[in-house]
Amino acid sequence: VLTRSLPFMSRPHAWLELQAWGALAVPTGLLAGGVVGVLINTTFVSGISDWNLAIATALVTGAGPLANVFSAVWSKWSEGREKVAALTLLKALFTACLFVIPLVPINHIGLFILVVAVLGAQIFWAGIVTIRAVVWRANYSRTARTTFAAQTQIIVSIVMSLVGAAAGLALDLNVNNFRWVFFGSAVFSLLGVFSFKRVRVRRQKQLLAAEKKARDNRIFRLGNVFQVLRDDAIYRKYLLWQFIFGSGNLMTIAPLILVLTYNMGVPRLTQILITASVPTILMPATTPFWASALATRHVVAFRALNSRVFVLASATVFFGGIFQSLWLLWVSAVLIGVAFGGGMLIWNLGHNDFAPQERNVEYMSVHVTLTGIRGLIAPLIGVGFYGLLESYKPGTGPWALSLPFVLTLCGSCGFHWLYHTIK
């Protein structure tokens, strides 16, 4: 039923992909920053300092975006390679990282292994996302691609939210249940690997030939990837405001988990519902609206519209934190879900409005690499600001949520300025 709105030739690919991404949504639901962050703060508490827990929380909440600094490497590695074979290998390595997590001991070494395993899984996932963009562009037209991305996001969001809620319930029952939860997610990941192996890429010979020709005409360096920023002024300005705006978004979850744990004493399940499951389950409800808006708008115009909801959500998180109001934080979870319904859609597709086909991977690589840089620094700054405020005066940590709000507001203003500049 989900694939009937697509062109007939695209349906077989789409059905196989929906199965694969649906299965892989189980482990990605557990690797979501809110889920793993809550796991660390409520499980690895014996003999480990609050500062080490805060750093680990920052690293895992930013692990997904942080891993994208490797996108340039994956971009180069994938050139001239058959895309399905490349994706299958990366998914197998992603699955191997998942099988490590159930084995970690509850101590300093176990915490270190857990963080490394999460980072490793997210690094391989970054490669999957980078190469997936090429497959989607080859197999679907712009309109069909938007429709398919929306459908995929609906399935993935529902699965991820349910998995996150189930993980929270399991942790509330027994903290050691995380071992069985992650083992089961690894099994689902294997199912996704085998399902995707049957996907075919349309006109792959021409695509690989174009990639090889483009590769032969240049020497690969990191600077070559960032030459996109020098060549495309509009894309450069777009990514500048996206960096500021996205830093605010990525800075929010880690200090929010600390506020929920140490300032408000909220149970594990409630923490995961607010930081992960509720926003994720609400994404599909607004995805059709956002997909319709994207189909008729350039990415800059879409970002200007979508960013307004993010600003409202960030403001609600801030006021919910400083007033320690749980009902405001529930409202913020709803608003974050609405905002990310469009945010994740444009994150996957936005670069296509700027990139020529033969440089699609380069444009995506610049985009996700910059996401990775802010994924490293933003959560660490967030928890550092929280710790600084708490050391100055206990109980003032929630004011750390003011910083992501200011960054989100500035980024939104930048998108509006850029839209009025180019329209």
- Predicted pLDDT at 71: 76
- Mean pLDDT, the chain, whole residue set: 85
Reported as a single tens digit per residue, the pLDDT across 197-219 is 766 666 666 666 666 666 655 55
| pLDDT band with cut points at 50, 70 and 90 for residue 131 | confident
Residues 193 and 92: beta-carbon distance below 8 Å:
yes
Residue 46 has pLDDT above 80, yes or no: no
| Tokens at 360, concatenated | 């699609």
Helix (H) or strand (E) holding 55: helix 50-61
pLDDT greater than 70 at residue 142: no
What Cα–Cα distance (Å) separates residue 51 from each residue in 36, 96, 253?
17, 29, 16
Looking at residue 72, its pLDDT comes to 75
Q: How high is the pLDDT of residue 231?
A: 85
Cα–Cα distance measured from residue 383 to residue 58, given in angstroms and rounded to the nearest whole number: 7
Residue 203, phi-psi category: left (phi > 0), alpha (psi -120 to 50), beta (remainder) = left
C-beta of residue 33 within 8 angstroms of C-beta of residue 62: yes
Q: Return the higher-pLDDT residue of 14 and 100.
A: 100
Query: What count of other Cβ atoms lies within 10 Å of the Cβ of residue 291?
Result: 22
Q: What is the CB-side half-sphere exposure of residue 206 using CA atoms within 13 A?
A: 6
> Where does 8-217+225-422 sit in CATH, by number?
1.20.1250.20
Q: What is the DSSP letter of 48?
A: -
Q: In percent, how much of the chain has pLDDT > 90?
A: 42
Report residue 1's pLDDT band, with 50, 70 and 90 as the boundaries: very low
Mean pLDDT computed over 154-159:
84
Residue type, 33: G
What is the distance between the alpha carbons of residues 295 and 77, in angstroms, rounded to a whole number?
A: 31
Cβ pair 371, 246 in contact under 8 A: yes
Quote the Cα angle for 238-242-246, to 5°: 175
Confidence check: pLDDT of 79 > 50: yes
Cβ atoms of 333 and 320 within 8 Å: the answer is no
CA 235 and chain centroid, separation: 21
| pLDDT of 181 over the 50 cut | yes
- With beta carbons less than 8 A apart as the criterion, state whether 64 and 347 touch: no
pLDDT for 39 beyond 70: yes
DSSP 216-250: HTS---HHHHHHHHHH-HHHHHHHHHHHHHHHHHH
Q: Where are the domains of the chain?
A: 8-217+225-422
Q: What is the pLDDT of residue 208?
A: 66
Dihedral sign of CA atoms 76, 32, 239, 403 in order: negative
| Residue with the two structure tokens 């660390």 | 40
Mean pLDDT value across residues 303-327: 96
Q: Does an H or E element contain 371, and which?
A: helix 360-392
CB 308 within 8 A of CB 196: no
Tokens of 209: 């030939």
With cut-offs at 50, 70 and 90, classify the pLDDT of residue 371: confident
Rg (CA), the chain: 21
Residue 66 has pLDDT above 50, yes or no: yes
pLDDT in tens, 317-327: 999 999 999 99
Nearest residue to 349 via CA among 147, 133, 155, 153:
133
pLDDT in tens, 240-288: 999 999 999 999 999 999 999 999 999 989 999 999 899 988 887 888 8
